[in-house]
């Protein structure tokens, strides 16, 4: 099968409102597609499947799963090509901005009261859109952000989600694992590297420390890379690679995911305090934004799960883009708003021709 006939198949599947997922790992030019043959919403608790999981932020141990055994699966490669990039200006809605600034200030009050060290606040931004053009959406996602996990997920019970995420939640292969601490955001300036401030360095260190601590129970060896700048489209983040060995016998994919998710990069620290702030104070449901997704294979004891960032939900007439940022005692609310505007721009770039 070639790329064009695969896209045609996916479009037909979508017209029939049948579930599918299409994904392309970072730096790969191979797309994998699972076309589910029925419309059942399959779930998994123990991740003992061969399939693709899709889980919400407020994960209670059960994730949606598209099992390979219920799907027609194929893989095709695509050619790199240059596509048109637009000048993007995310409009500033006064009410939306005030509500976000208030949320950031509330998070800072929580932090100054010593209830949390970091809280990741977020907001949805909804745009009216033309009818979805799947082939155009896929092309722009694939070509614009080659360093990200790019995906389009559809199930009639969840609607259509797509994204280009820079963040790995967990990669396992037998007893070895990889994860990362990703935080701090700067718009890339081609002329010079980002001059990371204490706010961003401390914020990212909090993420590293919390991940290492949470992994203690389930790992026998943990190694950390140096912290470095990672590009994600037009943005840069601070990143530490975390690798190691899982404790034999004690750990499976479900237990490590339960330990890691939601990471301090999308929730905050301490996790419980930050999560209850988010659930109480954000005035919307995150649903699958800041959840996780990816292929798992119980047979080979492997999985490659990503955090659902830089993502959006698409309906017949609207596109909702989700953006957030880590708040610490050193945050400046106006800067936090601007950071979410930059993140919004990266996803608007994908869908601009559909607006």
Ligand X SMILES: C=C(O[C@H]1C=CC=C(C(=O)O)[C@@H]1O)C(=O)O
Our CB check for ligand X shows the closer of 155 and 237 to be 237
Residue 129 CB, nearest distance to ligand X (Å)? 20
Residue 19 or 166 with smaller CB distance to ligand X: 166
Q: Which is nearer to ligand X, 51 or 326 (CB)?
A: 326
Query: In whole angstroms, how close is the CB of 257 to ligand X at the nearest point?
Result: 18
Question: Smallest gap, in angstroms, from Cβ of residue 309 to ligand X?
Answer: 5
Whether 310 contacts 288, CB under 8 Å: no
Task: Name the residue nearer to ligand X (CB basis): 49 or 167.
Answer: 167
In angstroms, the CA 176 to CA 221 distance is 9
Whether 302 contacts 112, CB under 8 Å: no
Question: Which residue's CB is nearer to ligand X, number 194 or number 325?
Answer: 325
Strands, E assignment, 201-310: 219-224, 228-232, 235-246, 268-269, 292-297, 302-307
Tell me the closest approach of the beta carbon of residue 323 to ligand X, in angstroms.
Answer: 5
Coil vs helix vs strand at 159: strand
Binding site for ligand X (CB under 6 A): 120, 122, 182-185, 237, 265-266, 309-310, 323-326, 343
Q: Rounded to whole angstroms, how far apart are CA atoms 111 and 265?
A: 16
DSSP 132: P
* Tokens read off for 326: 């880590």
Eight-class DSSP state of 189: B
CB burial of 76-108 (b: ≥16 within 10 Å; e: otherwise) equals bebeeeeeeeeeeebeeeeebbeebeebbebbb
252 vs 340, beta carbon nearer ligand X: 340
Report the nearest approach of ligand X to the CB of residue 112 (Å).
19
**Three-state DSSP class for 277?**
helix
Q: How far apart are CA 137 and CA 317, in angstroms?
A: 15
The residue (of 36 and 340) whose beta carbon lies closer to ligand X is 340
d(CA 269, CA 111): 10
**How far are the Cα atoms of 27, 36, 90, 166, 178 from residue 304, in angstroms, in the given order?**
14, 20, 32, 13, 9
Least separation in angstroms between residue 32's CB and ligand X is 24
* Minimum separation from the CB atom of position 324 to ligand X (A): 4
């Amino acid at each position: 099968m070639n790329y064009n006939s695969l896209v045609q198949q996916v479009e037909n599947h979508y017209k029939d409102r049948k579930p599918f997922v299409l994904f392309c790992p970072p730096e790969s030019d191979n797309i994998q597609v699972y076309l589910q043959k029925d419309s059942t919403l399959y779930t998994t608790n123990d991740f003992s499947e061969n399939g693709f999981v899709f889980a919400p932020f407020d994960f209670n141990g059960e994730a949606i799963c598209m099992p390979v055994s219920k799907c027609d699966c194929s893989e095709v490669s695509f050619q790199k090509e240059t596509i048109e990039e637009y000048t993007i200006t995310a409009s500033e809605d006064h009410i939306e901005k005030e509500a976000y600034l208030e949320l950031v200030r509330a998070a800072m009050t929580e932090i100054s009261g010593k209830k949390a060290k970091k809280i990741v606040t977020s907001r949805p931004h909804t745009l009216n859109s033309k009818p979805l053009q799947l082939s155009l959406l896929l092309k722009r996602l694939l070509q614009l952000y080659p360093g990200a996990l790019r995906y389009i997920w559809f199930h009639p019970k969840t609607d259509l989600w797509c994204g280009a995420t820079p963040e790995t939640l967990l990669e396992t292969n037998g007893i070895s694992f990889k994860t990362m601490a990703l935080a701090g955001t700067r718009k890339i300036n081609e002329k010079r590297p980002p001059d990371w401030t204490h706010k961003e360095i401390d914020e990212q260190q909090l993420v590293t420390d919390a991940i290492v601590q949470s992994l203690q129970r389930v790992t026998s060896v943990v190694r950390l890379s140096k912290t470095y700048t990672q590009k994600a489209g037009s943005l840069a983040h601070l990143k530490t690679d975390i690798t190691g060995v899982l404790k034999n016998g004690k750990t499976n994919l479900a237990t490590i995911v339960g330990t890691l998710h939601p990471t301090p990069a999308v929730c905050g620290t301490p996790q419980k305090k930050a999560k209850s702030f988010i659930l109480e104070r954000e005035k919307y449901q995150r649903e699958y934004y800041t959840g996780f997704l990816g292929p798992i294979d119980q047979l080979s004891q492997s999985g490659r799960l990503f955090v659902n960032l830089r993502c959006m939900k698409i309906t017949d007439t609207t596109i909702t883009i989700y953006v957030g940022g880590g708040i610490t005692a050193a945050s400046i609310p106006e800067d936090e708003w601007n950071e979410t505007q930059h993140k919004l721009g990266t996803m608007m770039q994908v869908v601009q021709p559909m607006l």
